Structure 1
Amino acid sequence: MPKQTDSTSATGMSGRRRQAARNDAVILEAARDVFLEDPKAPIAAVADRAGVGISALYRRYAGKEDLLRRLCHDGLRRFIAEAEAAAAEPDGWTALSRFLQRVVEADVHSLTVHLAGTFTPTDEMRQDAQRSGTLTAALIDRAHADGRLRPDAVVQDIGLILEGCAAVRVPDAGRTRELRRRYLALLLDGLASDGDPPLPGPAPQAGELSRRWRP
Protein backbone atom coordinates (compact mmCIF):
# COMPACT_ATOMS: atom_id res chain seq x y z
CA MET A 1 0.00 0.00 0.00
CA PRO A 2 1.54 3.35 -1.02
CA LYS A 3 2.61 5.58 1.78
CA GLN A 4 0.43 8.66 2.21
CA THR A 5 2.30 11.80 1.29
CA ASP A 6 2.34 14.95 3.38
CA SER A 7 0.29 16.74 0.72
CA THR A 8 -2.34 13.98 0.74
CA SER A 9 -2.47 14.18 4.52
CA ALA A 10 -2.75 17.95 4.38
CA THR A 11 -5.50 17.69 1.76
CA GLY A 12 -7.38 15.23 3.92
CA MET A 13 -7.13 17.49 6.94
CA SER A 14 -8.25 20.44 4.83
CA GLY A 15 -11.26 18.42 3.69
CA ARG A 16 -12.17 17.56 7.26
CA ARG A 17 -11.86 21.19 8.24
CA ARG A 18 -14.08 22.25 5.37
CA GLN A 19 -16.68 19.70 6.39
CA ALA A 20 -16.50 20.88 10.00
CA ALA A 21 -16.98 24.47 8.83
CA ARG A 22 -20.00 23.44 6.76
CA ASN A 23 -21.49 21.57 9.71
CA ASP A 24 -20.92 24.58 11.94
CA ALA A 25 -22.63 26.87 9.43
CA VAL A 26 -25.63 24.53 9.30
CA ILE A 27 -25.84 24.44 13.10
CA LEU A 28 -25.62 28.24 13.40
CA GLU A 29 -28.28 28.78 10.74
CA ALA A 30 -30.56 26.28 12.48
CA ALA A 31 -29.90 27.89 15.86
CA ARG A 32 -30.77 31.31 14.49
CA ASP A 33 -34.09 30.05 13.14
CA VAL A 34 -34.94 28.12 16.29
CA PHE A 35 -34.15 30.89 18.75
CA LEU A 36 -35.88 33.56 16.67
CA GLU A 37 -39.02 31.45 16.93
CA ASP A 38 -38.54 30.66 20.62
CA PRO A 39 -35.59 31.98 22.68
CA LYS A 40 -36.43 29.40 25.37
CA ALA A 41 -36.17 26.43 23.00
CA PRO A 42 -33.82 23.64 24.14
CA ILE A 43 -30.56 23.05 22.36
CA ALA A 44 -31.91 19.68 21.18
CA ALA A 45 -34.30 21.61 18.93
CA VAL A 46 -31.27 23.11 17.18
CA ALA A 47 -29.79 19.67 16.54
CA ASP A 48 -33.13 18.48 15.13
CA ARG A 49 -33.43 21.51 12.84
CA ALA A 50 -29.82 21.13 11.67
CA GLY A 51 -30.19 17.40 11.08
CA VAL A 52 -27.21 16.50 13.27
CA GLY A 53 -26.85 14.43 16.39
CA ILE A 54 -26.83 16.20 19.72
CA SER A 55 -23.31 14.88 20.33
CA ALA A 56 -22.09 16.62 17.15
CA LEU A 57 -23.52 19.87 18.45
CA TYR A 58 -21.94 19.47 21.88
CA ARG A 59 -18.56 18.82 20.28
CA ARG A 60 -18.70 22.39 19.00
CA TYR A 61 -20.58 24.14 21.80
CA ALA A 62 -20.48 23.40 25.51
CA GLY A 63 -24.15 24.24 25.93
CA LYS A 64 -26.98 26.52 24.92
CA GLU A 65 -25.42 29.63 26.47
CA ASP A 66 -22.20 29.05 24.53
CA LEU A 67 -24.22 28.79 21.30
CA LEU A 68 -26.19 31.94 22.11
CA ARG A 69 -22.97 33.83 22.74
CA ARG A 70 -21.58 32.72 19.38
CA LEU A 71 -24.71 33.81 17.52
CA CYS A 72 -24.80 37.25 19.11
CA HIS A 73 -21.05 37.79 18.85
CA ASP A 74 -21.19 36.96 15.14
CA GLY A 75 -23.88 39.62 14.77
CA LEU A 76 -21.77 42.12 16.69
CA ARG A 77 -18.77 41.42 14.46
CA ARG A 78 -20.93 41.97 11.37
CA PHE A 79 -22.10 45.28 12.84
CA ILE A 80 -18.48 46.36 13.35
CA ALA A 81 -17.51 45.31 9.83
CA GLU A 82 -20.35 47.37 8.33
CA ALA A 83 -19.44 50.40 10.47
CA GLU A 84 -15.81 50.14 9.37
CA ALA A 85 -16.86 49.87 5.72
CA ALA A 86 -19.13 52.91 6.08
CA ALA A 87 -16.27 54.93 7.55
CA ALA A 88 -14.63 54.87 4.11
CA GLU A 89 -17.52 56.82 2.57
CA PRO A 90 -16.45 60.42 1.87
CA ASP A 91 -19.84 61.92 2.74
CA GLY A 92 -20.97 61.73 6.37
CA TRP A 93 -24.72 61.43 5.73
CA THR A 94 -24.19 58.80 3.01
CA ALA A 95 -21.93 56.87 5.38
CA LEU A 96 -24.57 56.80 8.11
CA SER A 97 -27.42 55.97 5.73
CA ARG A 98 -25.62 53.14 3.99
CA PHE A 99 -24.42 51.75 7.30
CA LEU A 100 -28.00 51.56 8.58
CA GLN A 101 -29.22 50.04 5.33
CA ARG A 102 -26.55 47.33 5.38
CA VAL A 103 -27.10 46.45 9.02
CA VAL A 104 -30.86 46.20 8.51
CA GLU A 105 -30.33 44.10 5.37
CA ALA A 106 -28.04 41.75 7.31
CA ASP A 107 -30.72 41.44 10.03
CA VAL A 108 -28.10 41.85 12.73
CA HIS A 109 -30.48 42.97 15.48
CA SER A 110 -33.22 40.33 15.37
CA LEU A 111 -31.28 37.87 17.51
CA THR A 112 -29.83 40.58 19.71
CA VAL A 113 -33.32 41.75 20.64
CA HIS A 114 -34.66 38.23 21.15
CA LEU A 115 -31.71 36.95 23.18
CA ALA A 116 -30.98 39.98 25.36
CA GLY A 117 -30.17 38.87 28.89
CA THR A 118 -30.13 35.13 28.13
CA PHE A 119 -26.35 34.68 28.35
CA THR A 120 -23.30 36.16 30.06
CA PRO A 121 -21.12 38.11 27.61
CA THR A 122 -17.38 37.52 27.46
CA ASP A 123 -14.73 40.19 27.90
CA GLU A 124 -14.11 40.04 24.15
CA MET A 125 -17.79 40.72 23.49
CA ARG A 126 -17.71 43.68 25.85
CA GLN A 127 -14.67 45.07 24.04
CA ASP A 128 -16.36 44.62 20.68
CA ALA A 129 -19.52 46.26 22.02
CA GLN A 130 -17.45 49.28 23.07
CA ARG A 131 -15.83 49.39 19.64
CA SER A 132 -19.20 49.22 17.93
CA GLY A 133 -20.35 52.18 20.02
CA THR A 134 -17.23 54.15 19.17
CA LEU A 135 -17.63 53.50 15.45
CA THR A 136 -21.32 54.42 15.49
CA ALA A 137 -20.58 57.62 17.40
CA ALA A 138 -18.01 58.55 14.76
CA LEU A 139 -20.59 58.09 12.01
CA ILE A 140 -23.05 60.26 13.93
CA ASP A 141 -20.42 62.97 14.44
CA ARG A 142 -19.59 63.04 10.73
CA ALA A 143 -23.26 63.27 9.73
CA HIS A 144 -23.72 66.11 12.23
CA ALA A 145 -20.64 67.88 10.87
CA ASP A 146 -22.07 67.67 7.35
CA GLY A 147 -25.23 69.38 8.59
CA ARG A 148 -27.41 66.58 7.22
CA LEU A 149 -28.33 64.88 10.52
CA ARG A 150 -30.80 66.65 12.78
CA PRO A 151 -28.88 68.17 15.72
CA ASP A 152 -30.90 66.43 18.47
CA ALA A 153 -30.25 62.88 17.17
CA VAL A 154 -27.81 60.95 19.36
CA VAL A 155 -25.93 57.68 19.03
CA GLN A 156 -28.37 55.85 21.32
CA ASP A 157 -31.16 56.63 18.86
CA ILE A 158 -29.41 54.48 16.27
CA GLY A 159 -29.65 51.32 18.37
CA LEU A 160 -33.37 51.83 18.92
CA ILE A 161 -33.94 52.52 15.22
CA LEU A 162 -32.23 49.26 14.32
CA GLU A 163 -34.23 47.37 16.93
CA GLY A 164 -37.41 48.88 15.49
CA CYS A 165 -36.51 47.67 12.01
CA ALA A 166 -35.72 44.20 13.35
CA ALA A 167 -39.18 44.07 14.96
CA VAL A 168 -40.78 44.27 11.51
CA ARG A 169 -41.36 40.62 10.63
CA VAL A 170 -43.99 38.77 8.60
CA PRO A 171 -44.04 35.07 7.62
CA ASP A 172 -42.63 35.77 4.14
CA ALA A 173 -38.89 36.56 4.31
CA GLY A 174 -38.87 38.56 1.08
CA ARG A 175 -41.78 40.69 2.21
CA THR A 176 -40.07 41.22 5.56
CA ARG A 177 -37.04 42.68 3.76
CA GLU A 178 -39.26 44.98 1.69
CA LEU A 179 -41.10 46.28 4.75
CA ARG A 180 -37.88 46.85 6.66
CA ARG A 181 -36.45 48.87 3.78
CA ARG A 182 -39.64 50.93 3.71
CA TYR A 183 -39.59 51.49 7.47
CA LEU A 184 -35.92 52.45 7.46
CA ALA A 185 -36.51 54.93 4.62
CA LEU A 186 -39.18 56.62 6.75
CA LEU A 187 -36.85 56.71 9.74
CA LEU A 188 -33.97 58.12 7.69
CA ASP A 189 -36.27 60.85 6.45
CA GLY A 190 -37.01 61.68 10.09
CA LEU A 191 -33.31 61.79 10.93
CA ALA A 192 -32.52 64.27 8.18
CA SER A 193 -32.01 67.87 9.27
CA ASP A 194 -34.68 69.97 7.58
CA GLY A 195 -35.72 72.50 10.20
CA ASP A 196 -38.24 70.29 11.98
CA PRO A 197 -39.12 71.12 15.60
CA PRO A 198 -37.07 69.38 18.32
CA LEU A 199 -37.80 65.75 19.09
CA PRO A 200 -40.12 65.19 22.06
CA GLY A 201 -38.69 64.10 25.39
CA PRO A 202 -35.05 63.65 26.41
CA ALA A 203 -32.80 61.44 24.30
CA PRO A 204 -32.18 57.86 25.47
CA GLN A 205 -29.22 57.46 27.80
CA ALA A 206 -26.60 54.72 27.51
CA GLY A 207 -27.24 53.47 31.04
CA GLU A 208 -30.96 52.91 30.60
CA LEU A 209 -30.41 50.86 27.45
CA SER A 210 -27.51 48.71 28.72
CA ARG A 211 -29.54 47.42 31.65
CA ARG A 212 -31.70 45.43 29.26
CA TRP A 213 -28.81 43.20 28.21
CA ARG A 214 -27.81 41.99 31.65
CA PRO A 215 -28.70 38.35 32.37
Structure 2
Amino acid sequence: MTSAVQRLLDSDSGHRPRADAQRNVERLVAAAREAIADDGVTVTAHEIARRAGLGIGTFYRRLASREALLEAVLADLVDELVAAAAAGLADPDPWAGFAGFAERFAELRALSCGVNEALGGDHGLDLDPQLARLRDQLRSLVERGQRDGVLRADVEWADVAFVLGGVVTGDHTIGLPAADQQWRRNLRIVLDGLRPGHER
Protein backbone atom coordinates (compact mmCIF):
# COMPACT_ATOMS: atom_id res chain seq x y z
CA MET A 1 0.00 0.00 0.00
CA THR A 2 1.40 3.41 -0.95
CA SER A 3 1.61 6.18 1.61
CA ALA A 4 -0.90 8.13 -0.51
CA VAL A 5 -3.45 5.37 -0.13
CA GLN A 6 -2.69 5.08 3.58
CA ARG A 7 -3.12 8.83 4.14
CA LEU A 8 -6.44 8.82 2.34
CA LEU A 9 -7.69 5.79 4.27
CA ASP A 10 -6.50 7.24 7.59
CA SER A 11 -8.48 10.41 6.94
CA ASP A 12 -11.67 8.45 6.28
CA SER A 13 -13.72 8.62 9.49
CA GLY A 14 -11.16 6.84 11.66
CA HIS A 15 -12.42 3.27 11.18
CA ARG A 16 -10.88 0.39 9.28
CA PRO A 17 -12.24 0.45 5.71
CA ARG A 18 -13.77 -2.59 4.06
CA ALA A 19 -11.56 -4.42 1.57
CA ASP A 20 -13.62 -3.23 -1.40
CA ALA A 21 -13.39 0.37 -0.21
CA GLN A 22 -9.63 0.07 0.10
CA ARG A 23 -9.40 -1.41 -3.41
CA ASN A 24 -11.45 1.50 -4.77
CA VAL A 25 -9.12 4.01 -3.13
CA GLU A 26 -6.13 2.18 -4.59
CA ARG A 27 -7.73 2.30 -8.04
CA LEU A 28 -8.44 6.03 -7.67
CA VAL A 29 -4.85 6.72 -6.57
CA ALA A 30 -3.44 4.77 -9.53
CA ALA A 31 -5.80 6.56 -11.93
CA ALA A 32 -4.93 9.94 -10.42
CA ARG A 33 -1.22 9.31 -10.80
CA GLU A 34 -1.72 8.43 -14.47
CA ALA A 35 -4.05 11.39 -15.07
CA ILE A 36 -1.72 13.83 -13.32
CA ALA A 37 1.14 12.62 -15.51
CA ASP A 38 -0.91 13.19 -18.67
CA ASP A 39 -3.01 16.25 -17.81
CA GLY A 40 -1.39 17.92 -14.79
CA VAL A 41 -3.10 19.21 -11.67
CA THR A 42 -6.14 20.52 -13.54
CA VAL A 43 -7.42 16.97 -14.06
CA THR A 44 -11.03 16.62 -12.92
CA ALA A 45 -12.55 14.18 -10.44
CA HIS A 46 -14.75 12.86 -13.26
CA GLU A 47 -11.69 12.04 -15.39
CA ILE A 48 -9.94 10.28 -12.50
CA ALA A 49 -13.07 8.25 -11.72
CA ARG A 50 -13.44 7.36 -15.41
CA ARG A 51 -9.85 6.13 -15.61
CA ALA A 52 -10.38 4.10 -12.44
CA GLY A 53 -13.52 2.51 -13.88
CA LEU A 54 -15.62 3.92 -11.03
CA GLY A 55 -18.53 6.32 -10.77
CA ILE A 56 -18.19 9.86 -9.48
CA GLY A 57 -20.38 8.90 -6.51
CA THR A 58 -17.80 6.31 -5.46
CA PHE A 59 -15.07 8.92 -5.82
CA TYR A 60 -16.75 11.25 -3.32
CA ARG A 61 -17.79 8.43 -0.98
CA ARG A 62 -14.18 7.33 -0.66
CA LEU A 63 -12.40 10.71 -0.81
CA ALA A 64 -12.91 14.06 0.87
CA SER A 65 -12.10 16.03 -2.29
CA ARG A 66 -10.24 16.05 -5.58
CA GLU A 67 -7.61 18.27 -3.95
CA ALA A 68 -7.02 15.77 -1.14
CA LEU A 69 -6.36 13.04 -3.71
CA LEU A 70 -4.03 15.23 -5.79
CA GLU A 71 -2.10 16.32 -2.68
CA ALA A 72 -1.62 12.72 -1.57
CA VAL A 73 -0.47 11.52 -4.99
CA LEU A 74 1.85 14.46 -5.62
CA ALA A 75 3.26 14.23 -2.10
CA ASP A 76 4.16 10.61 -2.87
CA LEU A 77 5.83 11.64 -6.14
CA VAL A 78 7.88 14.37 -4.44
CA ASP A 79 8.76 11.87 -1.70
CA GLU A 80 10.17 9.63 -4.45
CA LEU A 81 12.58 12.44 -5.27
CA VAL A 82 13.43 12.89 -1.59
CA ALA A 83 14.20 9.16 -1.42
CA ALA A 84 16.35 9.41 -4.57
CA ALA A 85 18.30 12.26 -2.97
CA ALA A 86 18.75 10.24 0.24
CA ALA A 87 20.04 7.33 -1.85
CA GLY A 88 22.44 9.73 -3.55
CA LEU A 89 23.75 10.91 -0.20
CA ALA A 90 24.22 7.29 0.88
CA ASP A 91 26.28 6.49 -2.22
CA PRO A 92 29.99 6.42 -1.25
CA ASP A 93 30.80 8.12 -4.57
CA PRO A 94 29.57 11.73 -4.24
CA TRP A 95 29.45 12.36 -8.01
CA ALA A 96 27.61 9.11 -8.74
CA GLY A 97 25.17 9.93 -5.94
CA PHE A 98 24.50 13.42 -7.27
CA ALA A 99 24.24 12.30 -10.91
CA GLY A 100 21.88 9.45 -9.97
CA PHE A 101 19.58 11.88 -8.19
CA ALA A 102 19.77 14.35 -11.10
CA GLU A 103 18.73 11.63 -13.54
CA ARG A 104 15.74 10.56 -11.43
CA PHE A 105 14.73 14.21 -10.93
CA ALA A 106 14.77 14.89 -14.67
CA GLU A 107 13.14 11.57 -15.54
CA LEU A 108 10.19 12.09 -13.20
CA ARG A 109 9.69 15.60 -14.55
CA ALA A 110 9.79 14.25 -18.10
CA LEU A 111 7.25 11.54 -17.31
CA SER A 112 4.73 13.69 -15.43
CA CYS A 113 3.53 17.18 -16.22
CA GLY A 114 1.90 17.13 -12.77
CA VAL A 115 5.31 16.75 -11.14
CA ASN A 116 6.53 19.75 -13.13
CA GLU A 117 3.61 21.78 -11.79
CA ALA A 118 4.14 20.49 -8.25
CA LEU A 119 7.81 21.45 -8.28
CA GLY A 120 7.00 24.81 -9.84
CA GLY A 121 4.68 25.65 -6.95
CA ASP A 122 1.82 27.12 -9.00
CA HIS A 123 -0.89 24.62 -8.14
CA GLY A 124 -2.73 25.68 -4.97
CA LEU A 125 -1.96 22.40 -3.20
CA ASP A 126 -0.20 21.97 0.14
CA LEU A 127 3.10 20.29 -0.68
CA ASP A 128 5.30 22.55 1.44
CA PRO A 129 6.61 19.82 3.81
CA GLN A 130 7.68 17.57 0.93
CA LEU A 131 9.25 20.42 -1.04
CA ALA A 132 11.15 21.59 2.05
CA ARG A 133 12.61 18.09 2.51
CA LEU A 134 13.57 17.98 -1.16
CA ARG A 135 15.32 21.36 -0.92
CA ASP A 136 17.27 20.21 2.14
CA GLN A 137 18.38 17.00 0.42
CA LEU A 138 19.39 18.77 -2.78
CA ARG A 139 21.42 21.29 -0.82
CA SER A 140 23.18 18.47 1.02
CA LEU A 141 23.96 16.69 -2.26
CA VAL A 142 25.42 19.82 -3.84
CA GLU A 143 27.43 20.85 -0.79
CA ARG A 144 28.80 17.33 -0.37
CA GLY A 145 29.88 17.27 -4.01
CA GLN A 146 31.57 20.65 -3.64
CA ARG A 147 33.38 19.62 -0.44
CA ASP A 148 34.69 16.52 -2.20
CA GLY A 149 35.75 18.50 -5.26
CA VAL A 150 33.52 16.71 -7.77
CA LEU A 151 31.08 19.57 -8.34
CA ARG A 152 32.15 23.06 -9.30
CA ALA A 153 32.49 25.36 -6.31
CA ASP A 154 31.17 28.58 -7.88
CA VAL A 155 27.60 27.27 -8.28
CA GLU A 156 25.00 27.94 -5.58
CA TRP A 157 22.93 24.93 -4.57
CA ALA A 158 19.74 26.81 -5.52
CA ASP A 159 21.15 27.36 -9.02
CA VAL A 160 21.36 23.59 -9.41
CA ALA A 161 17.62 23.30 -8.77
CA PHE A 162 16.90 25.68 -11.66
CA VAL A 163 19.47 24.11 -13.97
CA LEU A 164 18.08 20.62 -13.39
CA GLY A 165 14.56 21.96 -13.80
CA GLY A 166 15.55 23.29 -17.22
CA VAL A 167 16.66 19.88 -18.48
CA VAL A 168 13.10 18.95 -19.43
CA THR A 169 11.97 21.04 -22.38
CA GLY A 170 9.07 21.19 -24.79
CA ASP A 171 8.71 19.04 -27.89
CA HIS A 172 9.91 21.84 -30.20
CA THR A 173 12.15 24.88 -30.10
CA ILE A 174 13.01 27.34 -32.90
CA GLY A 175 11.29 25.01 -35.32
CA LEU A 176 13.35 21.97 -34.31
CA PRO A 177 11.74 18.78 -33.00
CA ALA A 178 13.17 17.32 -29.81
CA ALA A 179 15.00 14.02 -30.09
CA ASP A 180 13.52 10.96 -28.44
CA GLN A 181 14.22 11.40 -24.71
CA GLN A 182 15.81 14.79 -25.35
CA TRP A 183 16.00 15.30 -21.61
CA ARG A 184 18.71 12.64 -21.33
CA ARG A 185 20.88 14.49 -23.84
CA ASN A 186 20.24 17.77 -22.05
CA LEU A 187 21.10 16.19 -18.71
CA ARG A 188 24.48 14.92 -19.96
CA ILE A 189 25.37 18.45 -21.08
CA VAL A 190 24.24 19.97 -17.77
CA LEU A 191 26.15 17.41 -15.71
CA ASP A 192 29.30 18.02 -17.76
CA GLY A 193 28.90 21.75 -17.05
CA LEU A 194 28.61 21.15 -13.31
CA ARG A 195 31.94 19.35 -13.15
CA PRO A 196 34.98 21.30 -11.91
CA GLY A 197 36.95 23.06 -14.62
CA HIS A 198 34.04 25.18 -15.87
CA GLU A 199 34.22 27.83 -13.14
CA ARG A 200 33.97 31.51 -14.00
Tell me which interval the TM-score lies in, with the shorter structure as reference length: 0.7 to 0.9
User: Structure 1 residues 177, 68: CA separation in 2 closer, same or farther (over 3 Å shift)?
Assistant: farther
Distance in 1 between the 2:24 and 2:132 partners? 31
| Counterpart selection for 1:103 from 98, 102, 105 | 105
C-alpha offsets along residues 139-192 of structure 1, whole Å, 9 cap, x if unaligned? 11111012121112222123223322333458xxxx987221111111101111
User: Relative to structure 2, which stretch is displaced further, 74-83 or 16-25?
Assistant: 16-25
Distance in 2 between the 1:14 and 1:22 partners? 12
Distance in 1 between the 2:183 and 2:89 partners? 23
Shift of 1:14: 8.5
Match of 1:211 in 2: none
User: Structure 1 residues 162, 58: CA separation in 2 closer, same or farther (over 3 Å shift)?
Assistant: farther
Q: Aligned AA for 2:105?
A: V
Shift of 1:79: 1.0
Cα pair 1:150 1:192 within 8 Å, conserved: yes
Q: Which runs of 5+ in 1 are unaligned?
A: 1-12, 199-215
| Structure 2 residue 19 is matched with structure 1 residue 24 | no
Distance in 2 between the 1:18 and 1:63 partners? 16
Distance in 1 between the 2:171 and 2:54 partners? 28
Shift of 1:50: 3.1
Match of 1:210 in 2: none
How many percent of aligned residue pairs carry the same amino acid? Answer: 24
C-alpha offsets along residues 85-126 of structure 1, whole Å, 9 cap, x if unaligned? 1111112111111111122233377324335332241xxx43
Shift of 1:136: 1.1
Match of 2:78 in 1: 76
User: Structure 1 residues 142, 21: CA separation in 2 closer, same or farther (over 3 Å shift)?
Assistant: same
Paired residues for 1:182-201 under 5 Å: 182-194=185-197, 196-198=198-200
Structure 2-normalised TM-score? 0.73
Match of 1:166 in 2: 168
Distance in 2 between the 1:109 and 1:155 partners? 24
Shift of 1:59: 3.0
Match of 1:142 in 2: 144
Larger radius of gyration: 1
Q: Which runs of 5+ in 2 are unaligned?
A: 1-16, 173-177
Q: Aligned AA for 1:83?
A: A
User: Structure 1 residues 167, 66: CA separation in 2 closer, same or farther (over 3 Å shift)?
Assistant: farther
Q: Aligned AA for 1:192?
A: R
Q: Aligned AA for 1:183?
A: N
Cα pair 1:110 1:163 within 8 Å, conserved: no
C-alpha offsets along residues 60-81 of structure 1, whole Å, 9 cap, x if unaligned? 4322322331232112111111
The size of the alignment, in residue pairs, is 176
